[in-house]
Structure 1
Amino acid sequence: MFSHLMVAYIFIYICLGLIGLGIILLLQMKISHNKEQQRRKMYEQKHHDYFMYIQAHIEDKGALRLPPGKLKPLERKVIQDKYMEWIEQFKGEYRTHLIQLCRDAGFVEADLKGLSSFRFGRRLEAAYRLGGMRAEEAVPALLQMLQKGKYTSLSIVIARSIAKSAENAEDVLTMLRSLLSHGKPIHHLAADIMLETGLDASSILMKLLDDSDPALVKVGLVAMWGQAVPEVMPVLGRLVGSEEKDVRAEAVKLYLSSNPALKDETIVQLMSDRDWEVRAAAAKALGPLHAAGSIPLLVKSLQDANWRVRHNSAESLAALGEAGFEALCQAALSGAGIQREAALQRIELVMEKVEEHSAIEQMVAYNKKRLIHDRYFGVKQPVRRVTGVAAVGGDYTA
């Protein structure tokens, strides 16, 4: 009993000692960090005139002067960070001058050596800085690191640096293949990295969409969001029929978001696709596309086995004016099961939006839907109407 008690006391003392040691280390790290920040501010103030000189002479044709005097390690980092900040902000000749200044100051050479450091933190820092300086001579070494290493946080930093520094599209494609070779679901991240390149994005997108690797095709499709690239639209139409589920679903979303003039057979094909993601994307797009001829298809899709397809179909029906809303009411009154439930849920949401209508056209459209609702389900007291607007005569559909 006594020995067990002593062991317990010893364990408690050891734990208290470790906790105390941890607190001391944290305090030392905090103090060290604060001192470094103070020194950084001091160096920034010291080189204020030099920074002003760079900004004033960056348009000059000749080479810019290097920082004056012998610099300490932290001092060099402060100046290098300022260069990298300007490289991110400037374009064209200004950026070219700053990149050359990084080479002349020896920053690129120092970080190239840092890539072979035994310390992980030093390699990570070197890869990040080389990308920030757009060091094209670092691309082969960075590609080699990316291809040999496992997927870690360093992989993302290396990939981003390659995208920023690469001078030809093949290096970017090789980077993407290496990054995706680990099988991680990082297509959105890879697309974001690819778009940081200074190369022509449209030519890279064409190569991605024509690649035999579905992972690269998906990266290209994700990267197309927010990009106006008319050249890829024929390829996009082809990918709508892809055998790969993810590729086809993403292609359909992009295809429909471009507001094409859909043919009836195309709508039927998309609404009967074997994958629910495609059916849901098509159902969601038919409302904004004002495809009133698709109302029967949308009503039928209210019986779809997938909840998202039913939800999107009801939403599009509500967006298709009086005809679409009346079809919803008919489905709610005569339908059964999941079809009736989806229709009633959307009708309830539409009727609750009376306070949101401020424009006259919206108020007229709401009152028309209110009349249709009352005709099918009767008038409920009190009736909440938008007053001051007559909903009779003419076609006022929003």
Structure 2
Amino acid sequence: MRMFSAELADRASRLLPNSRALSASREAAPYFAADALGLAAVPTRHVWGRHLAVHREGADGHLVDLGDGLFLAPVDPPRLVRGRRSRRLSELRRAVRALFDLRLALTGGALVAWIALAVATFHSALRLGWVDAIYFTVTTAATVGYGDINLAGAPPWLKLYASLFMILSGIGLALLFALAADAVIGARILQALGVPPRGMRGHVVVVGLGNTGHRIVQHLLDAGVEVAAAEVSEQNRHVGEARRQGVAVLVGDGRYRDSLRALSVEGAAAVIAATDDDLANLETALTAHELNPDARIVIRVFDPEAAMGDGVLSTFEHGSRLWLVAEVWVRPGSPADGMDTALLEREGDLHVLAVRDRAAERWRPAHPDRLEGGHEVLLAGTRERWEQVRALASG
């Protein structure tokens, strides 16, 4: 069965005997995320309780020597880049960053300079101490005026100056509060509407929020990486979920420069083109590379050879070919019943990783040398050899 929901797939596999639910997006997403993060070894996935990956260096207890300096070996899951940030912390960071607005800085700077000039003026004209001058200036700017210091006996020019000071200070304070509210509250509103924040850096841009793009975003978020995404359809069911997780989602075509610039692609660490259209993915990648030559570019390209089949648990690349990690059940009386495992591995394009029966599960090199009816066998090999072995085992 092909199924997107991992929870439903697990339940279906437990309830329906001799069945397996697979998700192509669940298989592919870890590769895209790991490539964007620059991980050297990408785990295939958990198969029979272990995590498998292709290494370029030998390791103790490696399973299979694939040749050309490559080894298929069990590994621990990759360490995350850093702990996942909480949503509240991310929102606080965005709010603080929103305060560093050029308009807010210019207005605040002008208001401070205007108040400083007034402090010096009142200090000199009224012969006030610096503390009293500051106190009088602040109360005048705020139009509070307690009356303990006043301009009743001041010269006319000072009264006119104080009147102008109160008017301009009131306008300046109102403008300052308005800009501060726009920066903080406006940032939250823009986030809710899916407008990406300006000036993002070190993030990963994901173009396309289909099933695969959604899975990729989840892996990146779990790694603590900030993500911005683009999706052409606002009706996509993953758009709302991504926004609730703090992902800035732009509803627009990620192929265009304006869309990628809105996602701050110039400061992105990586760009993943994961739509269902090969041409759109390639165009997105080329445009992103022009805007940010230093970013890692990961493209989703459809290949009919990569289609998953019955019994296939995962895939990986070996040289220029696609290899499968798959399982097969040996039917009693079939041609594979009683066959030596060395005979299956003779041509070098298939390896027996483990054999499981009712008594035990034995991994290479402790697996039996001869297959028997009722054995479940975990294999790694090319699709052609896998299909041959499957035919022998089911014969």
Q: TM-score, normalised by structure 1?
A: 0.25
Higher relative contact order (CA 8 A, sep 6+): 2
Answer 1 or 2: which has greater strand percent: 2
Answer 1 or 2: which has greater helix percent: 1
Q: TM-score, normalised by structure 2?
A: 0.25
